[in-house]
Amino acid sequence: MNIQWYPGHMTKAKRQMQEDIKLIDLIIELVDARIPRSSQNPDIDELGRNKARLILLNKSDLADEAENEQWAAYFRQKGCFTAKVNSKTGAGLKALSPIIREACAQKLERDKRRGIKNRPIRAMVVGIPNVGKSTFINSFAGRACAKTGNKPGVTKGKQWIRLNKETELLDTPGILWPKFEDERVGVNLALIGSVKDDILNLEELSLELIDRVRENYPGILAARYEIEEEGKPVEVLERIAAKRGCIKKGGDMDYAKAASLLLEEFRNGKIGRITLERPQE
Ligand code: G4P
């Protein structure tokens, strides 16, 4: 797969993020719960050095609940604070305030020692495109959406959203570009729809999806499409095409249509809650 992300654009965004990170205490890093590793950009380790970090498993509603727990345990074991959320409905967001306090305990303690009172925790949301950053900011800030405005001399041009008495959120998220060095990462990102479909071979992608889903969630395709799921992936795609009426005028199978249908249903969670990678892999 040949994927381009416009390096000029990337460099500028990265520089901007480096500047923004200087202003904050806490990085709220969103990953996609269906592919927590592939949707993480390793640059964040370097960019976020010396900052508290909270990893949110977003879109947890689309991922396998047992795997959500596994991933949360994995990130915790690596020393990160973590929580699973659904930014679309707001599920899991209420629990974040105490976690943020805990993640920033050192800063709060330091402020206290220095006699600094009521200096809010400042946080910034980062993540790859389409992971749900804007949705998260809107849901999390919600009613508290009052912008605090510019503070002369300190944060010129920056808009902060006051979440509560002790937390402010930078209103623009930091965009990290995914790393496609490993082909599997590229495929995972394509499967969840984070890569523009017009540059992908959707039929090939759908066959990969069939393979992966069958391997990790046996029976789930059979149940959804009322088909036999054994055999070559292309045969499974043909059965799905037949069941769903993906047939061209002359009576030939419309593979492209069946592939799009399958991918769309997977991305919307209609096939089931599916996680595509495991922490121990
Ligand atoms: P970004 O700023 O990081 O680029 O992502 P954005 O918030 O635009 O979200 C990308 C898509 O992901 C949106 O869907 C959004 O609704 C969806 N999304 C965000 N968080 C969650 C979540 O926790 N669960 C689920 N199921 N979806 C989530 P869209 O297709 O662009 O629009 P729409 O479906 O909302 O109409």
Confidence class for position 11, pLDDT limits 50, 70, 90 = confident
- The single-letter DSSP state of residue 42 is T
Closest-lying ligand 1 atom to the alpha carbon of residue 129 = 4
Q: By three-state DSSP, how is residue 226 classified?
A: coil
Q: How far is the CA of 128 from the centre of ligand 1 (A)?
A: 12
Percent share of the chain, pLDDT over 70: 91
pLDDT reading at 153 higher than 50: no
Q: How far is the CA of 132 from the centre of ligand 1 (A)?
A: 5
| Structure-token pair, residue 165 | 């008495």
Determine the residue of 60, 68, 84, 88 to mutate for testing ligand 1's pocket, defined as the one with the most ligand atoms within 8 A of the Cβ atom.
Answer: 88
Closest-lying ligand 1 atom to the alpha carbon of residue 127 = 3
User: Could you read off the pLDDT of 154-192 as tens digits, one per residue?
Assistant: 445 678 999 888 899 998 899 888 877 788 899 999 999
Q: How far is the CA of 269 from the centre of ligand 1 (A)?
A: 13
Q: Which residues of 137-163 are buried (b: 16+ CB within 10 A; e: fewer)?
A: bebbbeeeeeeeeeeeeebeebebbbb
pLDDT of residue 1: 47
Q: How far is the CA of 109 from the centre of ligand 1 (A)?
A: 36
Mean per-residue pLDDT of the chain: 90
Q: By three-state DSSP, how is residue 123 classified?
A: strand
Q: Which residues of 181-203 are buried (b: 16+ CB within 10 A; e: fewer)?
A: eeeebbbbbbbbbbbeeeebebb
Q: Atom 29 (ligand 1): residue with closest C-alpha? A: 130
Look-up: residue for tokens 């269906």? 34
What whole-number distance in Å separates Cα of residue 100 and Cα of residue 81? 8
Cβ < 6 A, ligand 1 pocket: 58-59, 61-62, 86-88, 127, 129-135
Strand ranges inside the chain, DSSP E? 26-32, 52-58, 81-84, 121-127, 160-164, 167-170, 174-175
Determine the residue of 62, 130, 136, 172 to mutate for testing ligand 1's pocket, defined as the one with the most ligand atoms within 8 A of the Cβ atom.
Answer: 130
User: Could you read off the pLDDT of 80-96 as tens digits, one per residue?
Assistant: 999 999 999 999 999 99
pTM of the model: 0.92
User: Could you read off the pLDDT of 237-278 as tens digits, one per residue?
Assistant: 999 999 999 999 999 999 999 999 999 999 999 999 999 999
* 56 close to 136: Cβ distance less than 8 angstroms: yes
Q: How far is the CA of 156 from the centre of ligand 1 (A)?
A: 30
Q: How far is the CA of 212 from the centre of ligand 1 (A)?
A: 24
Look-up: residue for tokens 């050095």? 49
| Structure-token pair, residue 51 | 């900052």
Q: How far is the CA of 77 from the centre of ligand 1 (A)?
A: 28
Q: How far is the CA of 130 from the centre of ligand 1 (A)?
A: 6
Query: Cβ contacts of residue 115 below 8 Å, gap of 6+?
Result: none
Closest-lying ligand 1 atom to the alpha carbon of residue 131 = 3
